[in-house]
Structure 1
Amino acid sequence: MQFLKTHWNKFLILILSITIIFFAFSYTLDVKGKELVDNSFKEAVIVFGSAKALNAVISLAQGTELDLPFFTVAIGEVLDPVNDLVEQFSLVMLASMVSLGIQKIMMNFVTNDIYNYILFFSVIVLNLWMFYRFSKDERFRTLFFKISVILIFLRFAVPLIGLVNEFAYNSFVKQDYNISQLNESIVKVKEDVNEVTKNTIEHKENSSFFNKVAEKFDSNYYAKKVDEYKKAVDSSSEYIVALIIAFVFQTILLPLIFLFILYHFVRGIFNLGK
């Protein structure tokens, strides 16, 4: 009994170690974490594809010209601001996919069997070292303890990133910036712009010579086409900015916060005893 009172802290660490090993080899967090990161990556790829498709449709529309008697109206110029925003959004999505790809690699690294066996070995040695001491081992023992703590932290913190991302998105972001709904809106904008361009081209090809001549002097026709494009891209900037906010928060800001915490955690661990 006296032994337990004297070494209760060591037994507590032993119980924690058993729990750590159990969860490390049960892959309880890993399956869900991997699933969430994979889903986020697939979602990012889909949105990126929608953005590139919208960019292509707008580029096609920008090549559509309506000829007035003394000058040419490039109706696609109406879409320039949206197209510029789409191109910038594509860069954000590329960064998001890179971030998610790195998260997947990190997830595979810390959930690998080799990593788990190294962690298992470290925890076992650490516990043995608590009960059996060697001469002049203080410095090496302290270093080994710090490395073991970092290995444990990484083993569970990396899979938790996906869970934290999902929780943060569902709790604070989704109600205002629903990625699925916003992507559907972007697809709708793409379809609307494509429809206007398609109708414009077909109208020019199918119009009779006299109708083409009449339209050249019909300013209402040009105004109507410009309005059609404006209507097609109406609110598109809002959708794109909302998607940028959602993806920056979910795939860039939160991982940066994790790296910040990891940096200070490692720094704090190695500053122990100084």
Structure 2
Amino acid sequence: MVALIILLIVAVSWSGYIDRQTENYVNQATVQALAAFATARVLNAGISVAKSVEVGAVVSVQPLEILDPVHDLVEQYSAIMKLAIGSLVIQKVLLEIVATGFFKVVLTLLAVLLLATLLVGSANQSTLMFKLFALACLVRFLLILAVGLNGLVDNIYVNNKTQQNMVELEVLSLEVDALTAAKVPDETSWHSGITSKFSAAIDLINLENLKRKAEVAVPAMLNLMALFILKTLLLPLLFLWLLLRGFRVIWGVNFGKVWSSVTV
């Protein structure tokens, strides 16, 4: 049974199935984070243009300055998205490294040596080879398991919440972009058409509508910031910590004595 478990670990390592699954999850999460970042940049640009619109013939007024808090939040949201994308890229690179043939070969060689010491070696030799094999398994599978568990939690709960908030933010970015797409007459038209100038500005700027959009945007952005921090930083670190705690327990096992008691 022990030999079958060791051979199963080696087979899983060479199959690459869990490598592909975790890499697919990281790729999907990266695409999602890039889409969220792109929405933030569009929204940021739209708000910047809207804030620059001036209304008034004698005294210049900028009604869209009410969007200043939202604009600041968008900047912070963009920074969080950059951090999330960076974390996902690092995870992808590390997953590709541990999936290379070098780590598979090392794990296989240590598995063969462990099986040999279990059959003909002493208890101390078995314990040493078991710890080396466990260390190789840690290097080979620790990050994969952490990312895989994170992906499982993400698919069960986090991803649905993320999609809902992204839809709300994308709708807002499209509406702000549509508002700022309207053309306001040039400065030379002030004396010839002040009335039309105010009419165009009023059509462009519906303060109540913008207030409603801002109220929708703020919780959506806050939720997305929290969700991306959770799925790209906190959960992976939590699972890494839990797996390392489990490895410490395995590392403390005297495998030679356990094997001797089993064989007896």
Per the shorter chain, which TM-score range?
Answer: 0.7 to 0.9
Equivalent residue letter for 2:98: V
**Residue 29 (structure 1) aligned with residue 18 (structure 2):** yes
Equivalent residue letter for 1:150: L
Contact 2:172–2:213 under 8 Å retained in 1: yes
Q: Normalising by structure 1, report the TM-score.
A: 0.79
Unaligned runs of 5+ in 1: 1-11
Q: 1:233 aligns with which of 214, 219, 238?
A: 214
The residue number in structure 1 matching 2:97 is 109
Identity fraction in percent: 25
Question: Superposed, which structure 2 residues align to 1:255-274 within 5 Å?
Answer: 255-272=236-253
Q: 2:49 aligns with which of 39, 60, 70?
A: 60
Instruction: Report the CA distance shift for 1:55/1:221 in structure 2 as closer, same or farther (over 3 A).
Output: closer
Deviations 1:39-77 (A, max 9, x none): 1111111111111221121122222222363x4322232
Whole-Å separation in 2 of the counterparts to 1:117 and 1:108 = 15
Instruction: Report the CA distance shift for 1:173/1:223 in structure 2 as closer, same or farther (over 3 A).
Output: same
Question: Superposed, which structure 2 residues align to 1:1-274 within 5 Å?
Answer: 12-67=1-56, 69=58, 71-133=59-121, 138=124, 142-175=127-160, 177-179=161-163, 181-199=164-182, 202-205=183-186, 209-212=191-194, 221=202, 225-272=206-253
Equivalent residue letter for 1:15: L
Q: Which range moved further: 141-150 or 80-89?
A: 141-150
Instruction: Report the CA distance shift for 1:19/1:266 in structure 2 as closer, same or farther (over 3 A).
Output: closer
CA RMSD after TM alignment: 2.9
Equivalent residue letter for 2:174: E
Whole-Å separation in 1 of the counterparts to 2:137 and 2:203 = 66
Whole-Å separation in 1 of the counterparts to 2:141 and 2:171 = 41
Q: Secondary structure at the match of 1:61?
A: helix
Contact 2:50–2:180 under 8 Å retained in 1: yes
Q: How far has the Cα of 1:223 moved from its partner?
A: 11
Q: Normalising by structure 2, report the TM-score.
A: 0.82
Q: Which range moved further: 238-247 or 148-157?
A: 148-157
Q: How far has the Cα of 1:266 moved from its partner?
A: 4.3
